[in-house]
Amino acid sequence: MRASSLRSTAVILATLAGVAACNKEPKADPNQVLPVGADALDIAAKPQILFQVFGDRAEPKMMPIAAVVNGAIKPIGLTRQGWRDLDSAYLAAGAKYSIYVDDEARGSVTVTRGMWAGQDEPLYPLPGCRNLRPLAAVNLDLGLKTNEPTIEFLASSAALKPHAPSPKSPLTQDQVAKLGRSLGHALGLRAEMDREELDSLDFIARLIVTGARKEPTLLVSFIDPQAGDLGPGKGHTSHLFALFDKADTGYVPTYRHVKSGDAKTVEFQRIIDHADVDGDGIDEIILEAWHYAGTNDLVVLSFKADQWHEVLRAPSRWCLDPPPKDAAKAP
């Protein structure tokens, strides 16, 4: 898993499991599209599916996270049977897909068993949850060396076309860090975050080749080191996640997520990966968004009119059960 991955896979899985509180609602409607609010996806049309490959390097898992329909990234919405149909169509034993890191194919993943594989009991059950997003057990064939015990990759059921290569940046990693910290401080100051507060947080600055400009995009993050905890969060916290792209005057902010306040209310964001999913020559940037002890959202950014815009936000939790009807009444 790359250094930008600020939450361990164990924490992610535990968070997903945590949302599956025992649902005592009456018998579910078999025609209901899940998750609630998503449009129904036509699996019979065999759309391109994007997957997240994650977990222990020795026992990785793969989960469908989005679809690509007519060049646009869409959330996956299916009935209970529809999710089983997706499992049969895309996660059958022997299915093989390319995996991507920073918009480059870096090996492949082969399914060893899907979620149901013709059985009533799922491969990965979740007590208290009736409707599960399928998880597959997979084997990895990596085209890169890594000693990390956990992994996280993007996979696709159809090949992704890499954008044209950008010239190598003349900046060293130390220069990238210095520039990123300076730009982050300036952005934080506009939101009344002082430099001392930002410097108390974990800091990341890295260049990613997105194709948005001739020069790479600069990613800057200041994040609470406890942002991945499962606890409710206490006191005050701040978070800055921003993207900068090169203009005539230098690097300028093209995406800003700057939050400060009670730890329970602040949304954190981190990059999962980036790839040209819609084939327009510019990468989409795929993020994970979350709150303390909350559910996860998949967020996709696209570059339009000189800025990165959120074009998709969809729940990525493992359990697809609708929230209990009395959830809104809970204190």
pLDDT exceeds 50 at position 119? yes
- Look at the block and give the residue holding tokens 């909350």: 294
Instruction: Compute the distance between CA of residue 24 and CA of residue 173 in angstroms, rounded to an integer.
Output: 53
pLDDT exceeds 90 at position 218? yes
Tell whether 242 and 294 lie within a shared domain: yes
Tell whether 225 and 147 lie within a shared domain: no
257 domain-assigned = yes
328 domain-assigned = no
Tell whether 26 and 135 lie within a shared domain: yes
323 domain-assigned = no
Strand partners, 281: none
Q: Which domain holds residue 264?
A: 173-315
Range with lowest mean pLDDT among 84-88, 176-180, 229-233, 247-251: 229-233
Tell whether 142 and 259 lie within a shared domain: no
Strand partners, 262: 236
Tell whether 134 and 56 lie within a shared domain: yes
Handedness of CA 200, 201, 207, 213 (dihedral sign): negative
Instruction: Compute the distance between CA of residue 55 and CA of residue 150 in angstroms, rounded to an integer.
Output: 5
Position 67 confidence tier, pLDDT thresholds 50, 70, 90: very high
Tell whether 119 and 183 lie within a shared domain: no
pLDDT tens-place string over residues 293-306? 777 899 999 999 99
Of the candidates 84, 163, 85, the one whose C-alpha atom is nearest the C-alpha of residue 122 is 84
Overall number of domains in the chain: 2
Tell whether 77 and 204 lie within a shared domain: no
Give mean pLDDT, residues 225-233.
Answer: 68
Instruction: Compute the distance between CA of residue 88 and CA of residue 92 in angstroms, rounded to an integer.
Output: 5
Instruction: Compute the distance between CA of residue 317 and CA of residue 115 in angstroms, rounded to an integer.
Output: 15
From 163, 191, 207, the end of a domain falls on 163
Buried b (16+ CB within 10 A) or exposed e, 223-248: bbeebbbeeebeeebbbbbbbbbbee
Tell whether 192 and 50 lie within a shared domain: no
285: Cβ contacts below 8 Å, ≥ 6 apart: 208, 210, 243, 271, 274, 300, 301, 308
Position 250 confidence tier, pLDDT thresholds 50, 70, 90: very high
Tell whether 158 and 37 lie within a shared domain: yes
Tell whether 86 and 178 lie within a shared domain: no
pLDDT tens-place string over residues 78-118? 999 999 999 999 999 999 999 999 988 999 999 999 999 87
Tell whether 13 and 159 lie within a shared domain: yes
